[in-house]
Amino acid sequence: MVDNNKKFKMVSHIIMVFLCLCCILPFLLLISSSVTEESTLIKEGYSFLPKKLDFSAYIYLLTRSSALVRGYMITIGVTVVGTVANLTLTTLFAYPLSRKDLPHRNIIAFFIFFTMLFNGGLVPSYIMWSKYLHINNTYAALILPNLLMQGFFVIMMRTFFTANIPDAVIEAARIDGAGEAYILRKVVLPMSKPILATLIMMVGLMYWNDWTNGLYYINKDKYFSVQVLLNRMLSDVQFLKTSSSVSQIGNLAQNLPSTGIKMAVAVMGALPVMAIYPFFQKYFIKGITIGAVKG
Amino acid sequence: MVRKLKKKYYRYLPLYIMMIPGLTYLIINNYIPMAGIIIAFKQINYRLGILKSPFIGLKNFKFLFQSSDAFVITRNTISYNLVFLILTPAVAIMVAILLNEIKNKRAKKTYQTIILMPYLISIIVVSYLVYALLASDTGYINNSILEALGKEGISWYSNAKYWPFIIVIVALWKGFGYQTIIYFATIVGIDSTYYEAAAIDGATRGQRILHVTLPALKSTIITLTLLGIGRIFYSDFGLFYQVPLNSGPLMDVTNTIDTYVYRGLLQSNNIGMASAAGVYQSLVGFALVLTANLVVSKISKDDALF
C-alpha cells in the first residue's frame, strides 16, 4: 500500500513535469530564437539552444527602431488608464447594486446581466464606433470599445461586497452622518482590497493583451501598441506569402523585420506578463476561481 | 405620499448618480449595437446612414444560407467547440486530481504557476510560438525533427488536413491550465472526512477518486459545461484567424462565424452577409444559453446559472 502510494506520487510528478515542459518549451524556443544570430537562424531554423548567440535583434529594437519603444509606452499608458477607468466604473456600479435596500436594484442588475447573455455582434458595434463616434486612429479606440466595463466583473465585485461588507457597518456610518461617496471611499473600499487586487490583475491583463481593437480601429503606425505591432508584423509575412507579384515581394522584403527581430518583439510582448505574474499568482488564481462560481 | 416618495428616492440619489457612468457606457457599448441588429435587414449605404438605408427584409440571410459558407462556418464553430467542451475538462480534471496527490507545497505551487502561463499570454504571441514550430523554412518541426528523421518538410500553413489537430492542441494548451485551477480549487474544498471514511471502508485510490472526488466536481462540471454550451456559437477569433496566419488554403477548416464576420466586414466589404451571420450567431447563441439553462434547472436546480 505504502509502496503503491509512493509509485503513484512518482507518476504524478512525472506527468506534471511533462505537462510543465509542454507549457514552457515553446517560450524557450521563442527566446532562444530571438538571441540567435540571423544567418544561423535562416540556415538552421529556430532551435531551443542558440547555436550562435547574438543580441543584435534587441539592440536594433531598443536603439534603432522607435516602434517597439513607442508600442511599449502606448501599451503601458493604455493599460494604466484603462484599468483605472474600468475599476472606477465597475466599483461605482457594483457598490449601489450590492445595497439590498436600493429600490429597483433587480431591474438594474438585470440590465447588466442581460449584456452577458446577448450582444449585437461585431458589425453594429464596429459601425457605431467607427462611423458615428469616429474613434478610428485615436488612443480611445484602444481603451473604450468592449473593455471599459464588463458585466462579469461588476457581478464579481457586487458578490464580494454583499458577502464581505456587513449592512451594519454601512448603517453605522450613515447614522454618523457619512454620505454615500464617503462610505464607499472610507468604509467599503478599505475592506475590499482582495477583490480590488484581483480585478486590477484581470483587467490589466485584458488591456495588456488586447489586440482586436487595434486590428479593427487602427491603421496608423503611431498608435500601435505592442500587441497590435506584433499582429501587424505577423500579417506582413502572410502578405508576402500569399502575394504572387514578384516585384512586390522584393519591395516588401527590404522593410520586412528579420527572422530574429520578429521573435524578439514576441518575447517583449510576453515577457512582462510572465515576469510579473508569479508574484501576483494568488490574485490571478482568486480571480479565476471566484469567476467560476456564479454570482 | 408624493413627498414621502420623494424623500425615499432623495436618500438613494447619490447611489443612482454613482451608476450613471456605468449605465451610460452599457447603453452606448452594449445596447445601441443590440438595436443595430436591424443592419442585417437593410442594404447598408454609409452615405445614407443606417436609418435611411433601404430595408431588404431577409435577403441578406437568404444569400448567406444559400452560400456554402453558412454550413462550413456553422460546422467548424460547433464541432471545434464540442471537442473543446469534452477534451479540456477531461484533461483539466485529470491534472487537478494529480495536483491534489502531490503533497510537496513548493512543487505544487510551481506546477500551478507554469500550467497557467499559456492562459495569460495573448493569442498573438501564441501565433508566434506556433509559427516558430511550424514555419516551413525555419520552423523547428521541419528543420530539426523531420530533417533528423530524414523526412521531407511539410508546408503546414497550406495543408488543411493537419489543422483540426493543430487548432485543438493549441486551444487545449492555452486553456487547460485555467480549468485545472478551477477544478483544483473545488477538490481542495472537499471535506477530508469523506476521504477518511472511504479509506476506513477500504476504498482504493481509484475508488476514492471515482466515488468521492468526481461526484464533488459535478456542480463545477455542470457550470463550466453550461457556460461552454452558451458559447458554442462563438469562437476565439485570434485562434482561428491569426494562429493559422489567415491562410487561404486552410479556410475550409479554420473559418468560423467570428472570422467570417470579420472578413466580411473589414476585408471583402460584404456588410450584408457579415451582419446576417452576426445576427445568426447572436440569436442562436442566446437561444442556446436559455435552453441549456432551462434543461439544467429541470435536472438539478442549484446548478442553473439563473
Q: Give tens-digit pLDDT for B123-138.
A: 999 999 999 999 888 8
Chain B interface, mutation test: which of A19, A22, A49, A268, most B Cβ atoms within 10 Å? Answer: A19
The pLDDT score that the predictor gives to residue B1 is: 61
The pLDDT score that the predictor gives to residue A262 is: 83
Q: Is residue A277 part of a domain?
A: yes
Residue written as grid cell 471599459: A148
Q: Is residue A188 part of a domain?
A: yes
Q: Classify B55 as helix, strand or coil.
A: strand
Option in B98, B138, B247 nearest A238 (CB): B247
Instruction: Judge: A285–B112 Cβ closer than 8 Å, yes or no.
Output: yes
Instruction: Judge: A123–B261 Cβ closer than 8 Å, yes or no.
Output: yes
Question: Is the pLDDT score of B197 beyond 60?
Answer: yes
Give mean pLDDT, residues A134-162: 93
A167 and A43 in a common domain: no
Q: Is residue B292 part of a domain?
A: yes
A265 and A161 in a common domain: yes
The pLDDT score that the predictor gives to residue A253 is: 43
Give mean pLDDT, residues A244-256: 41
The pLDDT score that the predictor gives to residue A236 is: 67
Per CB-CB distance under 8 Å, the chain A contacts of B18 are 92-93, 95-96, 180-181, 184
Q: Is residue A60 part of a domain?
A: no
The pLDDT score that the predictor gives to residue A240 is: 37
Per CB-CB distance under 8 Å, the chain A contacts of B143 are 44-47
A258 and A149 in a common domain: yes
Q: Is residue B41 part of a domain?
A: no
The pLDDT score that the predictor gives to residue A243 is: 34
The pLDDT score that the predictor gives to residue A242 is: 39
Instruction: Judge: B101–A89 Cβ closer than 8 Å, yes or no.
Output: no
Residue in B with minimal Cα distance to A263: B128
Would you place residue A126 in the very low, low, confident or very high pLDDT band (cuts 50, 70, 90)? very high
Domain span at A87: 65-292
Per CB-CB distance under 8 Å, the chain B contacts of A235 are 246
Alpha-carbon separation of residue A95 from A176, A188, B29, B226, B259 (angstroms): 20, 8, 21, 28, 37
Domain end point (choices A19, A35, A54): A54
A178 and A132 in a common domain: yes
Phi, psi at residue B42, to the nearest 5°?
Answer: -125, 160
A251 and A167 in a common domain: yes
The share of chain B scoring above pLDDT 90, in percent, equals 61
Number of domains in chain A: 2
Alpha-carbon distance of B1 to A130, in angstroms, equals 48
Q: Is residue B16 part of a domain?
A: no
Would you place residue A3 in the very low, low, confident or very high pLDDT band (cuts 50, 70, 90)? low
Q: What is the pLDDT of residues A154-212, one digit of tens each?
A: 999 999 999 999 999 999 999 998 999 999 999 999 999 999 999 999 999 999 999 99
A69 and A50 in a common domain: no
Smallest CA–CA distance, residue A247 to chain B, in Å, is 21
Alpha-carbon distance of B42 to B276, in angstroms, equals 10
Q: Is residue B191 part of a domain?
A: yes
Option in A19, A145, A292 nearest B224 (CB): A292
Smallest CA–CA distance, residue A18 to chain B, in Å, is 10
A117 and A205 in a common domain: yes
Q: Is residue B220 part of a domain?
A: yes
Give mean pLDDT, residues A276-295: 79
Would you place residue A2 in the very low, low, confident or very high pLDDT band (cuts 50, 70, 90)? low
Average pLDDT, chain B: 91
Smallest CA–CA distance, residue A166 to chain B, in Å, is 18
Phi-psi region of A257 (alpha: psi -120 to 50; beta: other; left: phi over 0): beta
Q: Is residue B80 part of a domain?
A: yes
Residue in B with minimal Cα distance to A24: B114
Domain span at B69: 59-303
Number of domains in chain B: 1
Q: What is the pLDDT of residues A215-249, one digit of tens each?
A: 999 988 889 999 998 888 887 644 333 333 334 44
Q: Is residue A241 part of a domain?
A: yes
In chain B, alpha helices (H): 2-26, 32-35, 59-66, 68-101, 105-120, 123-134, 140, 147-148, 163-188, 192-200, 205-208, 214-230, 237-241, 251-254, 257-262, 271-299
A71 and A39 in a common domain: no
What was the ipTM of the complex prediction? 0.90
The pLDDT score that the predictor gives to residue B262 is: 95
Per CB-CB distance under 8 Å, the chain A contacts of B173 are 22-23
A267 and A164 in a common domain: yes
Instruction: Judge: A45–B138 Cβ closer than 8 Å, yes or no.
Output: yes
Per CB-CB distance under 8 Å, the chain A contacts of B31 are 115
Would you place residue A7 in the very low, low, confident or very high pLDDT band (cuts 50, 70, 90)? confident
Phi, psi at residue B184, to the nearest 5°?
Answer: -60, -40
The pLDDT score that the predictor gives to residue B301 is: 77
Instruction: Judge: B117–A274 Cβ closer than 8 Å, yes or no.
Output: yes
Residue A148 per-residue DSSP state: S
Q: What is the pLDDT of residues B161-188, one digit of tens each?
A: 999 999 999 999 999 999 999 999 999 9
Q: Is residue B232 part of a domain?
A: yes
Would you say A265 and A68 are in contact if contact means Cβ atoms under 8 Å apart?
A: yes
Residue written as grid cell 464576420: B261
Return the C-alpha cell found at B224: 463550466
Q: How many Å separate Cα A116 from the centre of its chain?
A: 19
Nearest to A80 by CA among A204, A168, A202: A204
Write the CATH number for B71: 1.10.3720.10
Instruction: Judge: B132–A46 Cβ closer than 8 Å, yes or no.
Output: yes
H or E element that contains A140:
helix A140-143
The share of chain A scoring above pLDDT 70, in percent, equals 89
A40 and A87 in a common domain: no
Residue A258 per-residue DSSP state: P
The pLDDT score that the predictor gives to residue A58 is: 84
Residue in A with minimal Cα distance to B278: A121
Q: pTM of the prediction? A: 0.90
Residue in A with minimal Cα distance to B237: A212
Alpha-carbon distance of A278 to B184, in angstroms, equals 18
The pLDDT score that the predictor gives to residue A82 is: 97
A225 and A91 in a common domain: yes
A34 and A141 in a common domain: no
Q: Is residue A123 part of a domain?
A: yes
Identity of the highest mean pLDDT range in A73-77, B98-102, B224-228: A73-77
Write the CATH number for A260: 1.10.3720.10
Q: Is residue B27 part of a domain?
A: no
